Amino acid sequence: MSHLLEVQDLVTKFYTEDGVVHAVNGVSYTLDEGESLAIVGESGSGKSVGVMSIMGLIPSPPGKVERGKAMLNGRDLLKLSKSELQNVRGREIAMIFQDPMTSLNPVLTIGRQMTEGLKIHLGMDDDTAKKRAAEMLDLVGLPNAEDRLVDYPHQFSGGQRQRIMIAMSLACNPAVLIADEPTTALDVTIQAQIVELVKQLQEKLGMAIIWITHDLALVAGMVDKVAVMYGGLIVEYSPVHDLYAQPHHPYTLGLLHAMPKLDAKDQTRLASIEGLPPDLRQEPNQCPFAPRCPYVIDKCKQENPPLTPTGPKRFSACWRWEDIQHEKTFGGANA
């Protein structure tokens, strides 16, 4: 069966004065119509660089996509010209960025920014594009949508600006929506509203979504599967419920045990992951998590484990995944 989006062996590097940064080191995943995938990892794990690579948004220089494929509807995005990519972005695959204030042009009205893509991608005239823009703003819950098309970004709150960004992203009915930590700059109450809004829009419009986040708790009830990234690699790939019930990688286990529990009966002390993230200027020739892992063995320091099947639709990059799956605490007795 062909997938809507299939990313294969994606490698992206940055050539800097301090050395080569190995940002993404052979990432692969798939996405089907209407499906939702979360790419989870701490800052610097490569999750945002990976999706920006397939969107053609990596600044070059210093960045360069060294190899890989990103097949969307049978076309390799990595082989498209700049003009071809511009036609694809917004129409077939769209992205919501972290900070709506820096993503919106402060000197152009919201109406001008929303109608531009509609005219380019769908060939709408000015009046039709304005009507569509107002409909999309109304869809994302912005009051007095038609009247507000003449307003500028600074006239909206942070939550409203993010709703505008979502409306802009969905205006051309893309098949895939990438949400790159869209709630980071918002307070907790507005975060919940934005997450719920995107979930509702996905159900209504039937699009596929990739969520990029550092918050494993955020994705529990909103995605079908999770790719956990560390050091530019996917270290675990699993249906979301299986991942929470029985992680197959020590990094995932550590992330889960670092999450606060709402159950008052669960008095387990929160675990911390000691040490520092890997230096991405070093080529990954060992398990990137080995220096911080309580389950490390000599083989981990000699060879980087490949992402291998560990169950139905499950994969882990760990030599000791069978031991890890039985652990109840991070750094447990079996280490």
Does residue 300 carry a pLDDT above 90? yes
Does residue 96 carry a pLDDT above 90? no
Q: Per-residue pLDDT averaged across 226-250, rounded?
A: 94
d(CA 65, CA 56): 9
d(CA 245, CA 11): 31
Residues in contact with 107: Cβ distance below 8 Å, sequence separation at least 6, in sequence order = 152
**pLDDT score at 333:** 43
Does residue 180 carry a pLDDT above 70? yes
Q: Per-residue pLDDT averaged across 5-29, rounded?
A: 95
Residue matched to tokens 């000691």:
274
List of E strands, 99-239: 176-180, 208-213, 225-230, 233-239
Q: Per-residue pLDDT averaged across 251-257, rounded?
A: 90
Does residue 177 carry a pLDDT above 70? yes
**pLDDT score at 269:** 67
pTM over 0.85: yes
Does residue 263 carry a pLDDT above 70? no
Does residue 191 carry a pLDDT above 80? no
Give me the chain's average pLDDT, please.
88
Q: Per-residue pLDDT averaged across 143-155, rounded?
A: 92
Does residue 7 carry a pLDDT above 50? yes
Does residue 328 carry a pLDDT above 50? yes
**pLDDT score at 334:** 45
Name the least confident of 41-55, 174-188, 237-251, 314-328: 174-188
What is the chain's Cα-based Rg? 21
**pLDDT score at 298:** 93
What number of CA atoms fall less than 13 Å from residue 183's CA on the CB side?
19
Q: Per-residue pLDDT averaged across 20-26, rounded?
A: 94
Q: Per-residue pLDDT averaged across 46-74, rounded?
A: 92
Question: Would residue 44 be called left, alpha or beta, if left means φ above 0 and alpha means ψ between -120 and 50 degrees?
Answer: left
Does residue 192 carry a pLDDT above 50? yes
Q: Per-residue pLDDT averaged across 220-246, rounded?
A: 93
**How are beta strands 308-311 and 314-316 bridged, if at all?**
antiparallel
